[in-house]
Amino acid sequence: MDRNEIVKAVNSIFIERFELDEAELTPEKNIIEELELDSLDIVDMIVGLQQKFGIMLRDNPAIRNVRTLGDVYDLFEKLAAEHPEIVERLK
Amino acid sequence: MTLLRSISIYSVTFLWALLYWLTVLLPVLLAALLPAARRRHRMRMILLWFGLTTVRWAWRPFFKVHYEDRSGGVRRPGIVVANHRSAIDGFLVSLPKLGMAQTVNGWPLRLPVIGHVARFAGYLNITEWDYETLKARAKEVLASGDPIVSYPEGTRSESRTMNPFRSGIFRVAMELDVPVYMLCIAGNEYMPDRKFRFREFRDLSVRLLGPLTEEEIDRCATAYALKQKVFRLMAGELAEMDAELDHEKTI
């Protein structure tokens, strides 16, 4: 699974759940400071990502280090390599 | 001039507060004996009239406030979202004449007299409560027929640009299925400033908009989407109100 597919899948959560424009979704965007998500929104983001990728994130310590959208792409790129079921789910 | 201006308005406000609270002392004591729901509503009305009389009477020599209700009247209790430019917003939100419970940071609840009455009135302490407690208390207020006024910016902006909104109160509106009203307050970015100085006196404008109905709210996928929608609507209205105030000032 290439990075473009990961980016597309992650972005779909931000577009559907947060009604953000695709043009706004660039890897350097800070999720809290620039996209203006607060702690409750982050919970919504995690729930959306969990549903989309079919994987539990709450207990994953790496999610706490996410600051930018690029960090989310990196995290799921790594998770997709470790969990082939993610690739199957997104097909 | 700033010092003189500040001393004069604070002196008048203090004297008015003294007079008001001495006058309502007996009603406050009697209201404290009522059953909880009636007590809270009565206390909200006492706070409402304090805010209203301060704005309309005590501050009249200094500036005027033009209030306009474009909501068609608050027919169903809901969440009234207000922008927050300065410390006098807590008074200005009384203009729709609704016995509301305000969401507050902890400190106003520690003020002498007013803080006690606000606690009796069921004001919502957003800094000390978790989300579920906030929602449960909000539900009680709305069930009693009173709306809730909230400042989703969290702190004073002291400028014409709103701070980003927090999602909590919008999530409450979505989960409790209640309408959202918007109270736009313009002109008071330096009245007073963050150091509580009145750098100027100018007429203010307050406008009640909405409501966003349950259907419109349901169309928002998340509280984030709702808060951004409300933010955009209020930012547009405030820009218009600021322009009108600037135009009036130059005439």
Nearest to A37 among B131, B220, B224 (CB): B224
Rounded to the nearest angstrom, the minimum Cα separation between B173 and chain A is 14
Chain B interface residues (partner A, CB cutoff 8 A): 131, 164-168, 171, 220-225, 228-229
Indicate which of B222, B226, B232 best probes the interface with A, i.e. most A CBs within 10 Å of its own CB: B222
pLDDT tens sequence across A37-59: 998 899 999 999 999 999 888 78
- Chain B contacts of A19, Cβ < 8 Å? 220-221, 224-225, 228-229
Bridging pattern class, strands B65-69 and B101-104: unpaired
Indicate which of A15, A16, A19, A49 best probes the interface with B, i.e. most B CBs within 10 Å of its own CB: A19
| Diameter over CA atoms, chain A | 34
Residue of A nearest to B132 (CA): A40
Confidence of residue B106 (pLDDT cuts 50, 70, 90): confident
pLDDT number for residue B136: 96
pLDDT number for residue B140: 95
How much helix, strand and coil, in percent to the nearest 5, is found in chain B?
50, 15, 40
Q: Which of A25-39, A47-61, B59-73 has the lowest mean pLDDT?
A: A47-61
- The mean per-residue pLDDT over the stretch A2-19 comes to 93
Rounded to the nearest angstrom, the minimum Cα separation between B221 and chain A is 5
Q: Please give the backbone phi and psi of residue A36, each rounded to the nearest 5 degrees, phi first.
A: 65, 35
Question: Does A29 contact chain B (CB < 8 Å)?
Answer: no
Task: Indicate the average pLDDT of chain B.
Answer: 94
Domains of chain B: 2-250 (3.40.1130)
pLDDT number for residue A76: 93
pTM: 0.90
pLDDT number for residue B29: 94
Chain mean position to CA B133: 21
Indicate which of B167, B218, B227 best probes the interface with A, i.e. most A CBs within 10 Å of its own CB: B167
pLDDT number for residue B52: 97
Whether the pLDDT of residue A87 is over 80: the answer is no
- The mean per-residue pLDDT over the stretch B20-32 comes to 95
Buried b / exposed e along B114-144 (16+ C-beta atoms within 10 A):
bbebbbbbbbbbbeebebeebbebbebbbeb
Q: Which of B52-61, B85-94, B190-199 has the lowest mean pLDDT?
A: B190-199
How much of chain B, in percent, has pLDDT values that exceed 90?
86
- The mean per-residue pLDDT over the stretch B213-227 comes to 91
pLDDT number for residue A30: 96
Whether the pLDDT of residue B55 is over 90: the answer is yes
- Per the model's pLDDT, the better-predicted residue between A40 and B204 turns out to be B204
Helices and strands, counts by H and E, chain B? 9, 7
Whether the pLDDT of residue B194 is over 80: the answer is yes
- Tokens at B82, concatenated: 């207000």
Residue of A nearest to B222 (CA): A17
**Is B131 in Cβ contact with A40 (below 8 Å)?**
yes
pLDDT tens sequence across B163-184: 999 999 999 999 999 999 999 9
Confidence of residue B82 (pLDDT cuts 50, 70, 90): very high
pLDDT number for residue A14: 95
CB atoms within 10 A of CB B151: 26
How many whole angstroms separate alpha carbon B19 and alpha carbon B31?
Answer: 19
Task: Report ipTM for this prediction.
Answer: 0.77
C-alpha closest to that of A16 among B173, B220, B167:
B220
**Is B168 in Cβ contact with A36 (below 8 Å)?**
no
pLDDT number for residue B250: 79
Confidence of residue A83 (pLDDT cuts 50, 70, 90): confident
pLDDT tens sequence across B117-160: 999 999 999 888 999 999 999 999 999 999 999 999 999 999 99
CA dihedral for B111, B114, B116, B120, sign (positive or negative): negative
Confidence of residue B248 (pLDDT cuts 50, 70, 90): confident
Domains of chain A: 3-90 (1.10.1200.10)
- Per the model's pLDDT, the better-predicted residue between A61 and B46 turns out to be B46
- Chain A contacts of B131, Cβ < 8 Å? 40
Whether the pLDDT of residue B205 is over 90: the answer is yes
